[in-house]
Chain A
Amino acid sequence: AQSVSQHNHHVILSEAASLELGCNYSYGGTVNLFWYVQYPGQHLQLLLKYFSGDPLVKGIKGFEAEFIKSKFSFNLRKPSVQWSDTAEYFCAVNAPGIILTGGGNKLTFGTGTQLKVEL
Chain B
Amino acid sequence: DSGVTQTPKHLITATGQRVTLRCSPRSGDLSVYWYQQSLDQGLQFLIQYYNGEERAKGNILERFSAQQFPDLHSELNLSSLELGDSALYFCASSSYRAYSNQPQHFGDGTRLSIL
Chain A contacts to B: CB under 8 angstroms: 32, 34, 36, 42-46, 49, 51, 90, 96, 99-100, 102-112
Contacts and interface: CB of A to CB of B under 8 A. Distances in A.
B96 interface: yes
25 contacts: A32-B101, A43-B2, A43-B4, A43-B106, A43-B107, A43-B108, A44-B90, A44-B92, A46-B103, A46-B104, A49-B101, A49-B103, A51-B101, A90-B43, A96-B101, A99-B96, A104-B48, A104-B50, A104-B55, A105-B56, A106-B33, A106-B56, A106-B58, A107-B92, A110-B42
Nearest to B108: A43
A33 B31 CA distance: 19
Interface residues of B, number: 29
A44 B55 CA distance: 22
Contact of A42 (B94, B101, B108): B108
A109 B43 contact: yes
Interface of B: 2, 4, 31, 33, 35, 42-45, 48, 50, 55-58, 90, 92, 94, 96, 98-99, 101, 103-109
A34 B103 contact: yes
A51 B48 CA distance: 21
The 7 closest A-B pairs by CB, nearest first: A104-B56, A109-B43, A104-B55, A44-B106, A106-B45, A104-B48, A43-B106
Contacts of A49: 101, 103
Contacts of B50: 104
B42 A109 contact: yes
